[in-house]
Amino acid sequence: MARIRPLLVTLLGLLYSAAAVAIEEQPQARSFSLPAARTSERYPVGKRSITGTTNAAHVDGSILVNITLGSQTLPVVFDTGSSILWVWSTYYNGSLAGDLYYNISASTTWAQLPGYTFNISYVDGSGVSGVVGTDKVTIGGLTVTGATLGAANLGPSAPSTFKAGLIGMERGSMSVKNSAGNSVTRNTWMQNIASSLPSPIFAVYLPWGSGAAQSSIDFGYIDSSKYTGTLSTVPLMSGTARWQFTSTSYYVNGVHYSVTTTTSGQALIDTGTTLLLVYPEIAAAFYAAVPGAYQDSGEWVFPCSTTTFPTLTLDVGGVQAPVSHEINWGPWATFANGTKICDGGIQTTSRTTMTFGDVFLASNYVVFNDAASTIQIANIVF
């Protein structure tokens, strides 16, 4: 996970009890749309055909969707880089004044799993831990009863005024600790609803910029109006819960380069990360074509007066995917002469696996299919 701005999400539902999956029919129409807001903050994050659209927003670099726990509606990060649903709660060992959180005592459907705990560490160095229980969870007008979630009580940073937690959309199951301290698996939200969808997939549509269409996340179907050309299928790597694939080459302004990093040549898609984090050689080749660009304390920056950027195309499991939007992240510093320096949406990673975050998704429509161990990708319609 990593950072946030606005969006709209299309969801399909189901509901789950701690022992079994069940469906709860909702009275509203099978498809619906709710508005989404967008901010520009940046911080260094039997089958039934039920469809719908739920709130989402981009704030400090992550996609936010509204979920209802019992009767409490809270915004959470929609994160393909983790698996558990967790929220800050009244179990938190600190002040909650002015923050968004889950009030355990206000939910008549919360049931704690005795002795069960969760503890998560994220790639940006943050983490969170707490107790585990079940509650009725509604997203997009669709309800899962007895859904497993973590009620956070400890973290390196305090709860937030704009997000209450996170819903994990990683592949496979979530892992928690039982009373004996052993790791056990529980169903994720996607696992709970998959059997009730027309197809066990979700697709991410995040067009950014002035005049861009409303963003969305579509569950159970593919919307051909949101991409151009043909969807290309990319096999995912085995042995990992990540949406991970090979990535061994790239183009800058049409010039082809092979990745020389010998440790990996791999990447993953993470909606919980705003930036596009690539190998240093890729970032260096890109910013070499940006007039005045340089690294400041490891961060690539450039004059805010820059209006055009080189084209960048990345290898996604053999498919060439463009990156052409949301490069400029706003003023980073202002010098005495009035010159403003801006932060780039493309930055470097020291890890062996690159992270293709929301900057990448601003140019590409991606369909996630855990059952088939694939993603599908095509150029986005703005």
Written as one letter, the residue type at 273 is T
DSSP for 23-69 reads -B--SS-SS------B-------------EEEEEEEEEEEEEEEEEE
The structure tokens listed for 164 are 């209450």
7 contact partners, CB below 8 Å, separation of at least 6:
36, 38, 56, 57, 58, 63, 64, 206, 214, 215, 216, 217
CA angle, 145 then 146 then 148, to 5°: 125
Catalytic-role residue among 60, 135, 218, 270? 270
The answer to whether residue 270 is catalytic is: yes
The SS3 of residue 333 is strand
d(CA 95, CA 101): 11
Catalytic-role residue among 60, 79, 358, 370? 79
CB 51 within 8 A of CB 30: yes
168 contact partners, CB below 8 Å, separation of at least 6:
79, 81, 82, 83, 84, 85, 174, 188, 189
Active site residues: 79, 270
